[in-house]
Structure 1
Amino acid sequence: MQPDILIIGSGMGGATLAAALAPSGRRILILERGDRLEPSAQDRDAKAIFGDGVFRPDETWLDGHDQPFNPGNYYFVGGNSKFYGAALIRYRAEDFAPMRHRDGTTPGWPVTYDDLEPDYQAAEDLYCVRGDPSQDPTEPPHSGAYPFGPVAHEPDIQDLFVRLRSVGLSPSTIPLGLDLDRWLAGGDTTWDAFPNTCGGKMDAETCGLAEALKHENVALKTNARALRLVAEVDGSVSGVVVEVDGGQETLTASVVVLAAGAVQTASLLLASADASRPSGLANRSDQVGRNFMNHNCSAVLALHPLRRNRSVYQKTLMVNDYYLTNGQGGAPLGNIQMLGKITGPILAATTPLPDWISTLIADRSFDFYAMSEDLPNPDSRVTLKDGQIRLDWQRSNWDAHSELVRVLKRKLRKAGFPVVLSRPFDRRTPSHQCGTARMGADPATSVVDTFCRSHDHPNLFIVDASVLPTSAAVNPALTIAALAFRAGRHIQEREWAA
C-alpha cells in the first residue's frame, strides 16, 4: 500500500491519530519498530518483570555523565502504554497557563484547556475511561460524562479513603482505562507496570489501534524501525528510511507523523541532519531535544504492623489537595495516587531485602506514588553522541517534591499508619518523559504549532509527549491522545493530505 499518511510509532499518540483519521478513507500506514506482545508465562511473574527485566529493550543510552544505562522504554505494538498504570487523567485547567513553582514559572501553553476539552472528551470515549469527575475539587469542567462509572475501591482502600478524609484530605477515584473483570481473569495482580496481553487495559493497541484497523485503508507494519527522515530543499519531508529484515527501504507519503516518544522522536530528528540542516530536521529553533522533562516521583509505603492490606490491585485512589498550592497558598507540590499493589516478590526484586522481610512489609503496606512537576529547561536535553542517545536530565523542582513527600508522610501518620517509608525513583527511570519538541506559537522558540505541525516542514506532524510544553503533575497519556485528536482534525482539513 502506498500511504497518504505515514505514522511512526503505535503508542498513545500514533494509535489515537490513526483512529481519528481512519474514517477519512486516506491510506494510513503505521510503523512500529517492535512486535505485538503475545501471552507468555512471564506476564504476571513479578521477578521476571521487575527483577530480570524480561520485557525491557536490549538497548543502552548514555546519561549526562556519559555513563551507559538501560532505559525503561518499551518497543511493542502499543508502545509504553502496554505497561502503563491506565490512569487517564486530564491536565487541570490551570496547567495550560503560566504557573509559579518553587524553581520558577512554567511558560504555559499556546492553547487553553477549553481549546482541548472536546478532544479530551473524544479520547475518554475511545479509551472507555471509568471515572467520576465530581469527586476531585481540582477537576476541570467536562462537556460530557465518562463512558463508565469509576472502578470501585477494594475494601481496604475504601477504609483508606475514609482515613484520608478524616485528616482533612479530599481523596477521589482515579479515571482509569480498564476492564477490571477481564484483567483479573488473567491473574490476581495489579495492572500497573504489568504487560497487557489479555486486553484488560485500555491501551493504545487494544483501543486506538484496534479501532483504526477496523478500516481497510489502515495497515500496521511491525519490526520496522525508522532510521531517519529525508527532507527536500523546500522543507517537505519526502521520505522515511526504514530498517526492515536487516535491510533498508525508503517509504514516502504526503503526510509524515512522528509518534515515537519524547526521546526517540528527538533522536530521530537529530539523526536526520543533512547539508541544509546540520542540526537536524524541524530544528531551526534549536529546540529539538531540549526541555526534556521527567516527573519527580517517589514511592511512599504506609504500614501498620498489626493491620494487613488485602487488596489485589489498589490503584483506584488519588489526592490532589496539593496540586495547585502547597495547601497554604504557596507554590504547588503535586499529585498523589496509589501505586499498583506492591507484593513481596516485587519488593524482593527491586530492593536488597530478603524474601521474608519483603513479604512482611508488602502484606501490610499501602503504596503511594507521589509525583511533582518537572520544569522545562533548555539544558535538560536529548543529544546524539556517535549515534548513541545521550539523555542529560537536569532535574528541577526537587524541593517541592521533597515537601510533597514530607506532607504525605505526616498525613499518613495521622491517618493511622505509624510506619511510613519513602524511596525516590532513580534518575534514569522514565516517569512520563516529555518536552523535547515543544509546542508553541513562535517558530523561533518551539518545534511545532498548536496543531502539532512542524514549523519547518509543512507535511510533518509530531503527536507524542515530546510536544508537551509542560509536564504538569499528572499522567500524560490522556493529554497525548487529546492532542492526537486535535492534530487529526487539522490534517483532515488539509487538501495536501488527500
Structure 2
Amino acid sequence: MSIGPNGVRTEIDALVIGAGPSGVTAARMLAESGFKVTVLEQGEWPNVADYPSDKLERELLAAGAWNPNPNRRKGPSDYPINVKDSDVHPFMYNGVGGSSVLFWAEWPRFIPSDFRVKSVDGIADDWPITYEDLQPYYEMVDELIGVSGLGGYPAYPPGQGPPQPPLPIGKAGRLAAETFNKLGIGWWPGTSAILSQPSGDRGACARWGTCSNGCPEGAKASFDVAMWPGALAAGVNLVTGARVREVAVSDQGLATGATWIDRAGTEQHTSAPVVIICANGIGTPRLLQLSTSSRFPDGLANSSGYVGRNLMMHPVVSVLGEYDRDIEPWVGPEAHPIWSMHYAETDLSRGFRRGAKWSSVVHQGPVALLELFADLPLSERSGVAGHELVERLSGRCYELAASIEDLPVFDNRVTLDPDLVDSDGIPAPKVHYKMSDESRRCIDWNVDRLVEVHEAAGALSTKRVEWMPESGWHLLGTARCGDDPATSVVDGFGRSHDVPNLFIFDGSVFVTSSSVNPTPTVTAFALRGAEHLIETAADQRMPL
C-alpha cells in the first residue's frame, strides 16, 4: 500500500524517485503497459509564466532563482552540494521535468565507439550494451518528444532520422559551417529536442535563443511539457514536494519502498514492490549511501564499492570570435545550430585519447558576454570599460565550444558530507572531482583548433575560455552498469546486482561519457530498461 495525494491509500506496482527525463520516461512506459505507478519528486511544477526567457531582466533572473547551480539558486526543493574539492560545479534543476527545464535541448546520440572505448582504445571499460541495442529506443524517444534535425549524419549507422525538419542554422551557424568547409572539418545541422513545426498544443520554435531559461513557446522538449502530459494521461500518480530520505529494504534484502519528507516537514512512507531511482548522477549515489542497513552497511546496492565512484562531468571550453559585421548571434536555438563529431574519436597524434564534440553557440545579452571576460581586472570589464566592451561585441561575435569526453576516474566521486545538511537535516553530497591530465591535454588541443577556425573566418579578435567551473550539467557514472557485479552497480537493463527489485535509469549508469550531451542516451536507456522490466515482470522478485 502507498500514500497518494491527500492521504488516499492506493495499491501501486512501481515507485519511481525523480520526475526528470529518465523518471517520467520509465513511468509513462510502465503506466501505458498497465502498471500502477507513483513518482516522488522533491521539487514542484515549474510555472511557464515565471520563466526568465521572455523577460527584459532575463539575465538577472537567471542569476538568481533560475540559476542552474543549486548552491546559488537555494530554492526549497534544492539541497546544497559541497564543491570545495571539485574542479567543476554540478548544475541541476529540481522539479517536474528535471534539468530539462533549463537545458539547451541539444539532442545528439552516442556514437557507436562510445560504448566500446576499452575495445577500441584500450582505456576505461566497455558498456554491456551497444549502439544497436539502444537505436530503436533513441528513435522512439525522438518520436515521443518531437526532435528536429537532419538524418544521415555519417557519424552514425543508418536509421530513422528525426521526425521534424532541422531548425535554421542562422548567420552565426552559416559562418561556422562555411569555415568548417574551408578547413575540411565535417559538420551537421543541429539535432535538437525542439519543435521546428507545431505539434499538438506545443508551438514551433520562435527562435528566442533563450532555451536555457525555459521555453515560452513550449517548443523545447523539457519533459514537463513533452512527456509528463502523456504520463499523467496514462494514470501515473505524481507526488511533488516529496524529498526522499531513504530506500527501505526487507530482511531478505529487497527494496520495499521509500521514506520521504513532505513540504510540511512530516515523514511519509510509500511502499512498493519495485523501486526505480532516477535522481541524477549526484542525487542517486547520495540516496544509495543514505540507505544503509545491517545488510547494506556501505550503502544500498554497493557491494562493489562503485556507488558514487567514476563521476564524469564533461569539461567545456570555448573560444569567442569577434567579427566586423552583424551576425545576429541572439537568434536561436541557443546552442548547437551546427555541430561536429569530426574530432570525437581517438587520434594519438594529438597527444590524448578520445576527443570532443564541437558546436556553435549564440549569445543573448551583456552578462553572458562579460562572464567570458571574468579573468580581466574588474576595471576592464565594469563601468565605462565594461559598456564599451559589450557595445563593441554585441551582435558581432559568436562562440565555438568543445565538450570534452570525460574519462572515468575511480577517485572522482560523490560522498556524504559529514557536516553539511539540507533543509530537512539530511546529509548533503560532497563532490570530489579533479580533471584528468588526459582531459587537460584534450582541452588544450581543442582550444587551439577553435582559435584557428575563427582566424580562418577572419575574426578581428578571439577570446579563449579554457576552463569553465560553472558547467557541470552532465552528471554521469556514479552507479555504472556492467555485467560483472564486482565492478558495477546495475546490469545492462538498470537492475541492481545486489537488490533485484531495485532499478536505476538515470545518467549515473553511464560507463563512459562520450563527448555528447547525455539526455538522449539517458532516456533511451530508461525506455529500454522499463520495457525489459515489463517483459520480465512474471519473474520479478518482490518483497512479501
Report the TM-score when normalising by structure 2.
Answer: 0.84
- Deviates most, 398-407 or 427-436: 427-436
The verdict on how the C-alpha distance between 1:340 and 1:94 changes in structure 2, with shifts beyond 3 A counting, is: same
Pairwise CA distance, 1:237? 0.4
Corresponding letter in the other structure for 1:294? M
Q: Which residue of 2 aligns with 1:141?
A: 158
Q: Which residue of 2 aligns with 1:130?
A: 148
Q: Which residue of 1 aligns with 2:415?
A: 383
Q: Find the aligned partners of 1:361 and 1:184 in 2 and give their Cα distance.
A: 32
SS of the aligned residue for 1:63 comes to strand
1:95 is aligned to 2:114? yes
Pairwise CA distance, 1:13? 0.6
Corresponding letter in the other structure for 1:189? W
Could you give the per-residue CA deviations for residues 295-336 of structure 1, whole angstroms, max 9, x where no partner exists? 0101321122x2222141253111121111449687432110
* Residue 369 of structure 2, aligned match among 347, 354, 363: 347
CA contact (8 A) 1:83 1:195 kept: yes
* Residue 16 of structure 1, aligned match among 25, 29, 38: 25
SS of the aligned residue for 2:304 comes to coil
SS of the aligned residue for 2:155 comes to coil
1:224 is aligned to 2:242? yes
Q: Which residue of 2 aligns with 1:474?
A: 516
Q: Find the aligned partners of 1:356 and 1:188 in 2 and give their Cα distance.
A: 27
Q: Which residue of 2 aligns with 1:318?
A: 339
Q: Which residue of 2 aligns with 1:51?
A: 63
Q: Find the aligned partners of 1:364 and 1:100 in 2 and give their Cα distance.
A: 45
Q: Which residue of 1 aligns with 2:3?
A: none
The verdict on how the C-alpha distance between 1:497 and 1:150 changes in structure 2, with shifts beyond 3 A counting, is: farther
5+ long unaligned stretches in structure 2: 1-9, 419-426
* Residue 86 of structure 1, aligned match among 105, 109, 128: 105
Q: Which residue of 2 aligns with 1:271?
A: 290
In the TM superposition, 1:6-405 aligns within 5 A as: 6-38=15-47, 39-40=49-50, 42-44=52-54, 45-55=57-67, 56=70, 57-58=73-74, 59-63=79-83, 65=85, 71-99=90-118, 105-134=123-152, 136-142=153-159, 144-180=160-196, 189-215=208-234, 217-244=235-262, 245-304=264-323, 306-311=324-329, 312-313=331-332, 315=335, 316-326=337-347, 331-348=353-370, 351=374, 353=381, 354-386=386-418, 387-396=427-436, 397-405=439-447
CA contact (8 A) 2:15 2:257 kept: no
CA contact (8 A) 1:60 1:71 kept: no
- Deviates most, 5-14 or 411-420: 411-420
CA contact (8 A) 2:176 2:360 kept: no
Q: Which residue of 1 aligns with 2:494?
A: 452
The verdict on how the C-alpha distance between 1:378 and 1:328 changes in structure 2, with shifts beyond 3 A counting, is: closer
SS of the aligned residue for 1:152 comes to coil
**Overall identity of the aligned pairs, in %:** 28
Q: Find the aligned partners of 2:98 and 2:193 in 1 and give their Cα distance.
A: 16
SS of the aligned residue for 2:521 comes to helix
Q: Find the aligned partners of 1:259 and 1:169 in 2 and give their Cα distance.
A: 37
Report the TM-score when normalising by structure 1.
Answer: 0.92
Pairwise CA distance, 1:41? 6.4
Q: Find the aligned partners of 2:134 and 2:309 in 1 and give their Cα distance.
A: 24
Q: Find the aligned partners of 2:12 and 2:100 in 1 and give their Cα distance.
A: 25
Could you give the per-residue CA deviations for residues 419-448 of structure 1, whole angstroms, max 9, x where no partner exists? 221214433531311000000000111000
- Deviates most, 80-89 or 150-159: 150-159
Could you give the per-residue CA deviations for residues 321-359 of structure 1, whole angstroms, max 9, x where no partner exists? 111144968743211012243432432467452244124
- Deviates most, 125-134 or 436-445: 125-134
Corresponding letter in the other structure for 1:333? G
Q: Find the aligned partners of 2:241 and 2:110 in 1 and give their Cα distance.
A: 33
CA contact (8 A) 2:188 2:338 kept: yes
Q: Which residue of 1 aligns with 2:6?
A: none
User: How many residue pairs are counted as aligned between the two chains?
Assistant: 492
Q: Find the aligned partners of 2:178 and 2:90 in 1 and give their Cα distance.
A: 38
Pairwise CA distance, 1:16? 1.0
- Deviates most, 476-485 or 90-99: 90-99
The verdict on how the C-alpha distance between 1:329 and 1:383 changes in structure 2, with shifts beyond 3 A counting, is: closer
